[in-house]
Amino acid sequence: MLEKVLIANRGEIALRILRACREMGIKTVAVHSTADADAMHVRLADESICIGPPPARDSYLNMTAVLSAATISNADAIHPGYGFLSENADFAEMVEEHGFTFIGPSPDHIRLMGDKIAAKRAMRAVGVPTVPGSDDPVSDADAAAIADEIGYPVLIKATAGGGGKGMKAATSRDELKSALDLARAEAHASFGNSDVYFEKFLATPRHIEVQILADHHGAVVHLGERDCSIQRRYQKLVEEAPSPALNENQRREIGRVSSEAVRALGYRSAGTIEYLYEDGRFYFIEMNTRLQVEHPVTEMICGLDIVREMVRIAGGSSLGFTQDEVRFSGHAIECRINAEHPFTFKPSPGQVETYHAPGGLGVRVDSAIYSGYKIPTYYDSMISKLIVHGNNRNECLMRLRRALAEYVIDGIETTIPLHQRLIAEPAFVNGDYHIRWLETLVQRIGRE
């Protein structure tokens, strides 16, 4: 059993990991930038260490500083959360080389799945269907011929990508060069790698992902699927589980395929296999080798603590349960609350004057803000996740409407009004949406 965990992150996910560790009797070490000296995870951790100035590159992305903090505090392990260093294979390797336990998959699996082309090849080799597209990085000289062969529209994606960065669509040859240049520039700025590849652009797919847990002993289970199709510029805003688009046969099949793929790869820890789903068919797009932002919706329907399981697995424990013992109950929906204007999405950092979180049966709030907290300008704008659970989707929607109406965050603008609007839309109520639906809704609101 691990005795002390350093949390290499900030905000709500740092607090989430801290709580799981505390319930396991594990001491915690919070690292923070100077901008986060008053952060809630810093206040609640057993120890805290400042690792640098506000810019992430000088603090949360500073591998040397994080490892030094682990050494100084005599930590046993490091949990990277999501974002920052969570999918950096070099960091995971350094953690292990310095004698700490990395709470996550092996560096080799992080590296494999971080290369989107290599990931597609690996998944195709173990029987997972993939989106038609190029099998290698695309050069400028070959771009037009490859796009013609795939057929327009094509989606240009960074090989080292994620979170919608380095992703552009081209609907014709006339648009190809400018889209390619933009994708390369964004990929280089975001990942230090300008390589891109092409995929067939699917018109109105849903984004379906499967949560996996795997231990060191070959045991693998899936915890069902999440529907993450409510997106703006490839950034998820609302997630729900299970997906209202799938029937039971499809649900069992995609779970089976995902589990078998992970077992064949010898993967360990938590992971998420992401698919596009259109016209009854699934296409693998990527695997996230980390804890997902939206993991709470899965926890709400299966009653398992995914962070706890990650820590147990990292400590060498077996899962302790089989697929047949995983029980799913009801429906859950998560709304990501951002410090942004609800319809223009302009960032709105500043001081939270009044904060009142909703409560009641089936309501969970994952947040690290509080009345008087000053939201820094340096980091991601997500400040809270509101998750609700009900016996069925309709009950869940009614509970979500009530919880959003109770949620008070004064002093800054937030996306709460957007969530109130979109969950009242007939298409969402009926579960009839896709990954481009929200963009259309926002445009319509802008015209009103």
Is the per-residue pLDDT at 339 higher than 80? yes
User: Residue 252's CB: how many other CB atoms inside 10 A?
Assistant: 12
pLDDT, residue 319, reads 96
pLDDT (average), residues 201-228:
96
Instruction: Give the pair of three-digit tokens for residue 359.
Output: 């409560």
Is the per-residue pLDDT at 233 higher than 90? no
234 vs 138: which has the higher pLDDT: 138
pLDDT, residue 165, reads 84
Whether the Cβ atoms of residue 396 and residue 333 lie closer than 8 Å to each other: yes
94/334 Cα distance (integer angstroms):
34
The residues near 256 (Cβ < 8 Å, ≥ 6 apart) are none
Is the per-residue pLDDT at 447 higher than 90? no
The per-residue pLDDT of the chain, averaged, comes to: 96
User: Residue 363's CB: how many other CB atoms inside 10 A?
Assistant: 18
pLDDT, residue 122, reads 96
pLDDT (average), residues 17-25:
98
Provide the CATH topology of domain 4-85. Rossmann fold (3.40.50)
Whether the Cβ atoms of residue 29 and residue 9 lie closer than 8 Å to each other: no
Rounded to 10 degrees, the C-alpha dihedral 242/236/213/311 comes to -130
396/330 Cα distance (integer angstroms):
8
Q: How many percent of the chain have pLDDT more than 70?
A: 100
Instruction: Give the pair of three-digit tokens for residue 51.
Output: 């690792």
pLDDT band at residue 132 under the 50/70/90 scheme? confident
pLDDT (average), residues 326-335:
98
pLDDT (average), residues 156-160:
91
Stretch (H or E) spanning 200: strand 196-200
Whether the Cβ atoms of residue 183 and residue 221 lie closer than 8 Å to each other: no
pLDDT, residue 299, reads 98
pLDDT, residue 446, reads 82
189/194 Cα distance (integer angstroms):
8
47/59 Cα distance (integer angstroms):
17
Q: Which amino acid is at 205?
A: P
Is the per-residue pLDDT at 183 higher than 80? yes
Is the per-residue pLDDT at 190 higher than 90? no
Answering whether pTM is above 0.75, one says yes
pLDDT (average), residues 320-343:
97
Instruction: Give the pair of three-digit tokens for residue 24.
Output: 């396991």
pLDDT band at residue 331 under the 50/70/90 scheme? very high
Main-chain phi, psi angles of 244, to 5 degrees: -70, -5
pLDDT band at residue 160 under the 50/70/90 scheme? confident
238/427 Cα distance (integer angstroms):
14
Is the per-residue pLDDT at 310 higher than 80? yes
The CATH H-level superfamily of 206-447 is: ATP-grasp fold, B domain (3.30.470.20)
Whether the Cβ atoms of residue 242 and residue 234 lie closer than 8 Å to each other: no
Q: Kindly tell me the burial class for residue 365, based on how many C-beta atoms sit within 10 Å of its own C-beta (0-12, 13-18, 19 or more).
A: middle
Q: Which residues are catalytic?
A: 290
Domain boundaries, the chain: 4-85, 132-200, 206-447
Instruction: Give the pair of three-digit tokens for residue 405.
Output: 């109406």
327/189 Cα distance (integer angstroms):
43
Task: Say whether the peptide bond before residue 153 is cis (omega within 30 degrees of 0).
Answer: yes
Task: Say whether the peptide bond before residue 242 is cis (omega within 30 degrees of 0).
Answer: yes
pLDDT band at residue 448 under the 50/70/90 scheme? confident
Supply the DSSP string of 377-389, one letter for each residue.
Answer: SSS-SEEEEEEEE
Q: What is the pLDDT of residues 58-84, one digit of tens each?
A: 999 999 999 999 999 999 999 999 999
pLDDT, residue 161, reads 75
3-state helix, strand, coil split of the chain in percent (to 5) is 35, 30, 35
pLDDT, residue 196, reads 94
pLDDT (average), residues 246-272:
97
pLDDT (average), residues 284-289:
96
Instruction: Give the pair of three-digit tokens for residue 187.
Output: 């990929």
229/276 Cα distance (integer angstroms):
9
pLDDT, residue 217, reads 93
Class of the domain covering 132-200:
alpha beta
Instruction: Give the pair of three-digit tokens for residue 357.
Output: 């979180």
User: Residue 380's CB: how many other CB atoms inside 10 A?
Assistant: 16
Question: Can you name the residues that pair with 331 across neighbouring β-strands?
Answer: 390
pLDDT, residue 72, reads 98
Is the per-residue pLDDT at 271 higher than 90? yes
Strands (E), 121-195: 154-162, 165-170
pLDDT (average), residues 89-95:
98
Is the per-residue pLDDT at 326 higher than 80? yes
Main-chain phi, psi angles of 117, to 5 degrees: -70, -45
Main-chain phi, psi angles of 90, to 5 degrees: -65, -40
